[in-house]
């Protein structure tokens, strides 16, 4: 007879209170995943929900490159199932360096690439290596997960509230008062959750400020200020919008920049878990044992398949063109629909889609009455109304640290068809006509 372990866990409230460390006890779960759980429950009840929540891809809508699937299968058949090196297989590390030289004009030497199971291990290990308890981490909101990483490393945070007029990107002027004390500055472009990009001018100004600050620190023997530059979406920019890197604008920034990157978004391969950091050698040397002890490496077949595809621009380029076109079509359809409603005087607006898979939209509905008679008093009220009355699932910017009652929400298009977008706009128009 099997031992009933469930019975042994009853009446354990005192153990539950005493067991976690204070750090673990204070950890918060993802607000986005909590919303996603509500959406799944509504879908399970039979509702036809347009799911604009998680930054993921529905495989039936966006599949990974066919060549990638083929190469993974070939690597498995070849018996590539043993442990990879903690820093990543040499073929992939070289392919990443080739990619950066070919596409970004950045020639990095051997010893600067750390592969991980997605982008999160390089991000976490960078925080762990660079930040001591009490150090200052500076970032702007809305942004993704900086608060969690700062908390896990017991850092202090200085949070800059960015404005829609600046594309929700921080300015050098807003950051300047905090750079003298900061240990890490976090930037992400194209930005999750807004789908906007940092301009060449703003990024250049920030680089100059970092370089000048580090000259001061070098003179007095202090640790440098490091820029953690998350560019996971860099291959997904649209129209005239170009992705810029700190190092191409100011080569000296190579000493102070940690690049974060992955295949998760650019190849619709979120579950394939191949990411990396491109970093100064002295940082990579400390990343290697940390990622190794966590066991946070990507699977060997996926690493080898990624290396093969990165080295075949002639294979991946046609797929990327089609993929980007499909992403942009959804974002443009959504943006145009929201702008049309705005131009008719409805209480909604949106920013242009510059990159990534996101669109920023604002609903000016606070104080109005929902169809069920409730007064809308918060962004959460608006989100719930959109879901319950129009089967439109979005994430409010409050989930990304933005101040409440702004009305801003994120639309993510990775799990919807163009028809889904069009149908959701019809339902949204009908709802806004009732509410407004």
Per-residue model confidence as pLDDT tens digits over 40-56? 888 888 888 999 998 99
Mean pLDDT along residues 308-337? 98
Quote the pLDDT of residue 19: 58
Q: Residue 235: which pLDDT band, with cuts at 50, 70 and 90? A: very high
Output the furthest CA–CA distance in the chain (Å, rounded).
71
CA distance 117 to 275: 6
- How confident is the model over 97-104, as a mean pLDDT? 98
* Domains delineated in the chain: 22-62+318-435 (3.90.1150.10), 66-315 (3.40.640.10)
Which phi and psi (to 5°) does residue 27 adopt? -70, 140
Q: Is the pLDDT of residue 39 over 90?
A: no
d(CA 79, CA 81): 6
In Å, how far are 66, 212, 276, 288 from 279, measured between CA atoms? Answer: 31, 20, 10, 12
DSSP state of 237: B
C-beta separation of 313 from 102 below 8 A: yes
Chain CA centroid to CA 334, Å:
21
When pLDDT is averaged across residues 158-164 and rounded to a whole number, the result is 97
Does residue 31 carry a pLDDT above 90? no
Query: Which of 254, 316, 312, 245 lies closest to 279 in space, CA to CA?
Result: 254
Tokens found for residue 117: 């199971």
Binned at pLDDT 50, 70 and 90, residue 8 comes out as: confident
**What does pTM read for this prediction?**
0.94
Reported in sequence order, the residue ranges of 69-198 that DSSP labels E, i.e. its strands, are 113-116, 136-141, 156-161, 182-188
Strand partners, 278: 113, 259
Neighbours of 325 (CB within 10 A): 11
| Number of residues that this document lists for the chain | 436
pLDDT tier at 17, thresholds 50, 70, 90:
low
- Summarised one tens digit per residue, pLDDT across range 171-211 is 999 999 999 999 999 999 999 999 999 999 999 999 999 99
By DSSP bridging, strand 348-350 and strand 358-363 are: antiparallel
């Amino acid at each position: 007879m099997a031992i009933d372990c469930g019975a042994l866990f009853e009446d354990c409230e005192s153990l539950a209170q005493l067991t976690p460390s204070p750090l673990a006890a204070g950890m918060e779960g993802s607000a986005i995943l909590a919303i996603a759980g509500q959406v799944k429950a509504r879908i399970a009840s039979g509702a036809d929900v347009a799911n604009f929540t998680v930054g993921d891809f529905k495989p039936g809508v966006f599949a990974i490159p066919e060549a990638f699937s083929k190469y993974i299968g070939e690597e498995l058949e070849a018996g590539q199932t043993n442990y990879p090196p903690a820093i990543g297989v040499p073929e992939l590390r070289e392919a990443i360096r080739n990619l950066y030289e070919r596409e970004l004009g950045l020639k990095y030497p051997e010893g600067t690439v750390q592969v991980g199971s997605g982008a999160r291990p390089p991000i976490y290990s960078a925080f762990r290596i660079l930040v001591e308890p009490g150090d200052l981490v500076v970032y702007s909101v809305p942004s993704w997960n900086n608060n969690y990483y700062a908390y896990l490393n017991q850092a202090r945070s200085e949070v800059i509230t960015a404005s829609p007029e600046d594309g929700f990107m921080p300015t050098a002027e807003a950051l300047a008062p905090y750079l003298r004390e900061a240990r890490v500055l976090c930037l992400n472009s194209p930005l999750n959750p807004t789908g906007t990009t940092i301009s060449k001018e703003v990024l250049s100004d920030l680089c100059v400020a970092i370089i000048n600050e580090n000259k001061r620190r070098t003179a007095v023997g202090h640790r440098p200020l490091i820029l953690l530059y998350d560019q996971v979406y860099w291959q997904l920019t649209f129209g005239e919008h170009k992705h810029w890197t700190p190092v191409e604008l100011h080569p000296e920034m190579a000493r102070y920049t940690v690049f974060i990157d992955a295949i998760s978004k650019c190849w619709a391969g979120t579950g394939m878990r191949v990411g990396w950091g491109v970093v100064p050698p002295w940082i990579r040397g400390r990343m290697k044992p940390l990622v190794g002890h966590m066991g946070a490496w990507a699977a060997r077949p996926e690493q080898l398949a990624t290396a093969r595809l990165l080295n075949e621009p002639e294979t991946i380029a046609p797929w990327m063109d089609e993929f980007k076109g499909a992403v942009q079509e959804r974002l443009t359809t959504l943006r145009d629909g929201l702008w049309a409603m705005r131009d008719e005087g409805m209480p909604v607006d949106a920013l242009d889609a510059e990159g990534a898979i996101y669109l920023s939209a604002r609903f000016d509905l606070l104080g109005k009455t929902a169809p069920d008679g409730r007064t809308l008093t918060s962004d959460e009220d608006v989100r719930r109304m959109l879901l319950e009355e129009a089967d439109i699932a979005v994430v409010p910017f409050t989930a990304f640290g933005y101040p409440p009652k702004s009305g801003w929400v994120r639309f993510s298009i990775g799990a919807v068809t163009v028809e889904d977008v069009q149908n959701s706009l019809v339902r949204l128009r009908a709802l806004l006509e009732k509410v407004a």
